[in-house]
Amino acid sequence: MAEEVDQFAIRVSELVVGFGRQTVLDHLTLDVRKGEILGLVGASGGGKSVLMRTIIGLIPRRSGRIEVMGAEISEARHVTHTAAGKWGILFQQGALFSSLTVRQNVQFPLREELDLSQALMDEVATAKLEMVGLAPEDGDKFPSQLSGGMTKRVALARALALDPPIVFLDEPTSGLDPIAAGDFDVLIKTLQKTLGLTVFMVTHDLASLNTVCDRVAALAEGKIVAIGSMSELLRSEHPWVKAYFHGKRSQMLQPRKI
Ligand SMILES: Nc1ncnc2c1ncn2[C@@H]1O[C@H](COP(=O)(O)OP(=O)(O)O)[C@@H](O)[C@H]1O
Ligand SMILES: [Mg+2]
């Protein structure tokens, strides 16, 4: 198929999104390459989650074009149905269903989209849990019994349930301690390598940006104002990007740049 020759997993061009009088994304253009981990940084309230939700069709746009794996994304209609298997999502408030066990949470997309026997679903759930570093016994636990890091892993296992080629992660390591965050980073990198996943990740975690992201994009004033490797971003002359990476809070990470 034609999309096989396309090197881009996601293409966004001239995207305009707003609410009432507020314009959040203002002619934003962004390409995500197949198989890369792209990190997205931007001010709080700058529109990172809105961008992600608009790409997957959850938020209507005023104008602009969005393509995912070579197919144009139509607007905010029948999203869950048409999206089956196209992408996995770990939302910022990526809550699991608290009344379902871990295994049932992971099986949720399978139940929605496929007609599998319980035995097969259990097999898939076990495989997905293993993929994210959890034991089969963890499948019997309820969300309230999980640590923050485990919760993120289960949410990731659920996002991967239908073997999507792309995953969207909205601040996956926020709220995790540095060790759990580092472990999650390693997991993402491993999945990218072993599954050939394309990962679109919103993050404020400078360590994640340094260690797992192939490229980093900066969102400011509704646009992508810089995109490239971490070292390229560190050399950006854009005022917001400079303030973000060279501001006081980021000083301690400077020695890690290469
Ligand atoms: N469904 C919505 N309705 C109205 N305003 C929204 C909606 N979703 C987000 N916004 C607004 O859009 C802006 C960008 O939000 P968001 O994308 O969540 O920021 P962040 O970059 O922190 O993820 C904010 O001003 C937010 O209040
Ligand atoms: Mg957000």
Q: Is the pLDDT of residue 133 over 90?
A: yes
Q: What is the percent of the chain with per-residue pLDDT over 90, rounded to a whole number?
A: 75
| Cβ atoms 185, 211 nearer than 8 A | yes
Q: Mind listing the pLDDT tens digit for each residue in 181-228?
A: 999 999 999 999 999 999 999 998 888 999 999 999 999 999 999 999
Give 102's Cβ-side CA count (13 Å radius): 29
Structure tokens at 238: 């854009």
Indicate the SS3 state at residue 133: coil
42 lines ligand 1 (CB under 6 A): yes
Ligand 1 nearest atom to the CA of residue 53, by list position? 17
Which of 104-108, 112-116, 204-208 ranks highest by mean pLDDT?
A: 104-108
Ligand 1 nearest atom to the CA of residue 59, by list position? 1
**Band of the pLDDT at 253, cuts 50, 70, 90?**
low
Average pLDDT of the chain? 89
**Which residue's C-alpha comes closest to atom 25 of ligand 1?**
45
**Which residue's C-alpha comes closest to atom 14 of ligand 1?**
47
Phi/psi at 79 (5° precision): -60, -55
Rounded CA-CA distance 164/215 in Å is 21
Whether the CA torsion 105, 108, 111, 113 is positive or negative: it is negative
Ligand 1 nearest atom to the CA of residue 44, by list position? 22
How many whole angstroms from 145 Cα to the centroid of ligand 2? 26
